[in-house]
Amino acid sequence: MSTVPNQLTPQQKRRFEEDGYLLVKGLFDPLEVSELESVFEEISHRAIPGHFMPDLQADASDPLKRYPRVMHPHRFNEAAKSFMLHKPVMDVLRELYGEEPLAAQSMFYYKPPGSRGQALHQDNFYLKVEPGNCIAAWTAVDAADEENGGLLVVPGTNGYEIVCPDEADRNESFTTHYVKPPKDAKAVPVVMDKGDVLFFNGNLIHGSYRNKTKDRFRRAFICHYANSSAASIAAHYRPLYRSDGTEVMLEENPGGGPCGMEADVAYPH
């Protein structure tokens, strides 16, 4: 099984606090990554209403019709739930929060060659964790870089308020929301190897590139978490789970963002 240091270094914690994200190398070992691959390869060949609805006969014009994202696989697959509660991930989250983490959401992205990316956005616009914030744990199941649709982050925007999104360019983004970075802030790529996990704050502006390759998927297992002292979260993310798998039911936060508008896409990333 993967191991994690007893604690994050002061430099790692400072990086997360200042930049809003932290890359932890090899938090899933090769065997665990292989298990993730096997679970979601099996899922990819069938429809699971409410969670995964592929068009198995789709042409190549939009590869995301054949390989849409899997939503909340922990609700129908025990292996996915165990990966969402992966001890090394929960240990890092406990350090970052300074308290127990609660697992709120799991997703799997296949992102085959040619797939559009996702425009820059902020996760806590959707999750509405209050008080506190969500943290994402983004696990690379394939190596991710600028060519196959890796992540973009805007360092330091973890201190930026949640804002109402603008309309995204649907030629490049499969979601409709776009958050413009503040002046003088720049999106930078995060290059990851298989098994690496990127942790980032719910206010951090981030997104992803289009997969420009012809033969490389960019699969990722993505989960969102809340601090245990949070009182409420958006309804879509309930129930939450402690590290031992027991359920926690926070109050429903009805807000869809500071504008009072319902989010067009209630699933970050």
pLDDT in tens, the chain (269 residues): 344 445 799 999 999 999 999 999 999 999 999 999 999 999 999 999 999 999 988 776 789 999 999 999 999 999 999 999 999 999 999 999 999 999 999 999 999 999 999 999 999 999 999 999 999 999 999 999 999 999 999 999 999 999 888 888 877 788 888 899 999 899 999 999 999 999 999 999 999 999 999 999 999 999 999 999 999 999 999 999 999 999 999 999 987 544 433 334 444 54
| 220, 108 contact by CB (below 8 A) | yes
Report how far residue 142's alpha carbon sits from residue 163's, in angstroms, rounded to the nearest whole number.
Answer: 31
> Which domains are seen in the chain, by residue range?
18-44+64-252 (2.60.120.620)
Instruction: Name 173's bridge partners.
Output: 117
As to burial, measured by CB atoms within 10 angstroms (0-12 exposed, 13-18 middle, 19+ buried), residue 188 is: exposed
Q: φ and ψ at 116, to 5 degrees? A: -65, 160
